[in-house]
Structure 1
């Protein structure tokens, strides 16, 4: 399937919907907000596995907690997405989610109790659930003028600048303090505060970003359709791609399990794990930009790369050879880049503007359930047998490829 609209020939409004911000400037400033917040939560996530292991967690506990965190980040959007659509308070939801994450992360390094650390890991992900459907809806308005794939890809690439700097900062502080997590995570309060301040400024400049879509004729103003009307139903193509995406995530390991393997098998010191995570985020950015550009040219068929990358991750990352395990982490980062950019662009093209936050919430809820299964499955199978884990994931991703072919056939038949 190709995107519903090609925007390269569509003139972008010179002044934007409010106070002189063009669509590209809106995307870039919003990318700056995400850059700062990724500095915060990706810095923390880069050491989640080692931190929980330090507090006495097993691989299964790490897998369940990190999987539950992703499930919270994705599954709770089933609630926040429809609520954002009904209230139309997209900025309020976005700001609240960012504030929750910014407040939670610095406290994580202060706790010395496993259950408290597990709770904070999940709470940080709840902040992402609160903001993401509304944030993606705001961003989708501007990408109507910039090109869906390119707009989401540039935003994701800027995300990953923060996701690279954050883990490197944490790694440097851990190296200086002898693996003391309190100062390493406490310093992340600074970029968190800066992200919230920049977001408030952006809201003041562009209070209603739907103006970008209205200006180019991609949307018309108005309220969401009444509950129970045919217009409230999400398209069949949306459901088809949601099922495909769920399959790819069911066989996708979390970085928490990957980093647990590296530390427990003594392949890498704890202070180097955030450095590897930063490299994986760089791979994320490159993959996002590449697939975003290809998406605008060729459509959702570029998603064929996702099951291939996901299948390669455990085969590489769970070896006892450092170089191969590092390559597996980089492949993991590339797969995340596709998930975080091209999949979001696809949803924006498949769903009308009035139901977009709901669609993002439902889509993320399905992904969250799959992420919980995937994280737990990876952790449990890792404790049993690494070859079994590799084989199971390969089988799941083969099924995902078949699902992608089927869903594309369904789309063509509609």
Structure 2
């Protein structure tokens, strides 16, 4: 293994470890934020607006954050600032004495994530030159999802041992501090991640037609990808899954997402087309299983839902990294995430309406709009896979 590739692997592992503890922190908090707001006297409407506006901030600000990171070249500053805000807001919830303050902190946490996400994705993408883009984003997402699986379980354990929400939030200061310390260690280890992509032009050529087609395809996937809030609501309302098992179903999906990200990332570096097409088709089948099946089928549907999460967070980012020059990647990732987030928001709202009128209609919409993504992927085409590219170089 060359020194550059060894450094790339170490860098991805350090950043992935930071993301593991970051996800443990904020996913642990997000698993109880709604309930906590309710105990402070927030109405259902206030809870919904807080969650919805928080997600809108979390995705909408990424395009601005990415553009600023590319324009200034201060990727580490953006990343560290974002992680700092992201991690400070969660344990601060333990001190919130009223629901408006808690709501502000919840939205602040999402804002911090928006600031750091494009810059961090851009820096990670440089490691793809050495390791393969799919493997880089797949490995990072696997560690990310591992934290997302543990976070809600940690909070559940706190509540099970008769601790309150405030004790749970306060406990999350530990992984929050580990996150910040680890990301600072990543900065110390590799101050200029672009060195991993030495020899590539630094001047961006703008965003290509292929990039925009990938964004439309991702938007179709996002629009048909039901938020877990709606899925959990369905489980609770129909009683096909007992309330105590609903968090377990969610944790199972997160666990599958972690493993799926590794597998899809590796497959992406071997054959992009087959991985993308196969991933989209498999993930699109979650809706009929979740919304029309019994408890066993619902669990299978959640497994497919987890594969869909892995697809969006590893494979789609790998596609973007392959069609955008290094100097424009933070902008590209930020804009891509914003487009995906808006489509997810609109699609989730529409599926919420369809749920009230026709669950069959919801399922048809979810499946078809995700399969439409295949048309745009076909129009965009695919570049050579990183695995085949490295094999040719070795020969």
Q: Does residue 12 of structure 2 align to residue 39 of structure 1?
A: no
Map 1:213-362 onto structure 2 (within 5 A): 213-214=197-198, 217=199, 219-220=200-201, 222=202, 224=203, 231=205, 233-268=206-241, 272-319=245-292, 321-362=294-335
The structure with the largest helix share of the pair is 2
Offset at residue 266 of structure 1 (A): 4.5
For the pair 1:196 / 2:185, whether they are aligned, the reply is no
Q: Identify the range of structure 1 (180-189 vs 61-70) with the bigger mean alpha-carbon deviation.
A: 61-70
Task: For 1:5-404, list aligned pairs within 5 A.
Answer: 12-13=2-3, 22-48=7-33, 66-108=51-93, 118-177=103-162, 180-214=164-198, 217=199, 219-220=200-201, 222=202, 224=203, 231=205, 233-268=206-241, 272-319=245-292, 321-404=294-377
User: Number of residue pairs matched?
Assistant: 383
Query: Take 1:384 and 1:65, find their aligned partners in 2: how far apart are those partners?
Result: 25
**Greater shift in the superposed pair: 400-409 or 235-244:** 400-409
What do the CA deviations read for 1:86-121 (whole angstroms, capped 9, x no partner)? 111101111111111212223446658665555444
Q: In structure 2, list runs of 5 or more residues that go unmatched.
A: 385-395
- Contact 1:78–1:362 (CA under 8 A) maintained in structure 2: yes
Change (3 A) 1:310 1:109: farther
Cα–Cα, structure 1 residues 352 and 300, in superposed 2: closer, same or farther, change >3 Å?
farther
How far apart, in 2, do the equivalents of 1:27 and 1:74 lie? 23
1:50–1:326 distance in 2 versus 1, CA, 3 Å: farther
Give the aligned partner of residue 6 of structure 1.
Answer: none
Q: Which digits, 9 at most, give the CA deviation of each residue in 1:170-228, with x for residues without a partner?
A: 121222227x43223332121011110111122122111111111xx3x24x5x46xxx
Deviates more, 1:102-111 or 1:193-202: 102-111
Describe the superposition over 1:218-252 as per-residue Cα deviations: whole angstroms up to 9, x where unpaired.
x24x5x46xxxxx2x21111111111000110111
Q: Deviations over 1:291-332 (max 9, x none)?
A: 111111112442223443443233222357333323322222
Matched-pair contact (CA < 8 Å) for 2:209–2:380: no
CA contact (8 A) 1:110 1:181 kept: no
For residues 115-163 of structure 1, the C-alpha deviation after alignment (integer angstroms, 9 at most, x for no partner) is: 5555444332222110011001111112211111111111111112212
Whether the aligned pair in 2 keeps the contact of 1:53 and 1:260 (CA below 8 Å) is no
TM-score normalised to structure 1 length: 0.83
- The Cα shift of 1:50 comes to 5.6
Would the aligned equivalents of 1:315 and 1:390 in 2 still touch at CA under 8 Å? yes
